[in-house]
Amino acid sequence: MSTINVQKNDSESNESLIRRFTRKVQSSRKLIAVKQKQYRQPIKSRRLRRRSAILRAKVKQTNELLRKLGKKVDEPKDHKTKH
Give 75's DSSP letter.
P
32 and 56 share a domain? no
* Residue 79 lies inside a defined structural domain of this protein: no
What is the per-residue pLDDT for 33?
86
User: Can you give the residue range of the structural domain that contains 61?
Assistant: 44-72
**pLDDT tens track for 33-72:** 888 888 888 899 999 999 999 999 999 999 999 999 988 8
**pLDDT tens track for 6-36:** 899 889 999 999 999 999 988 888 888 888 8
* Residue 49 lies inside a defined structural domain of this protein: yes
Query: Residue 60 region, left (φ>0) first, then alpha (ψ -120 to 50), else beta?
Result: alpha
* C-alpha to C-alpha distance for 57 and 73, rounded to whole angstroms: 19
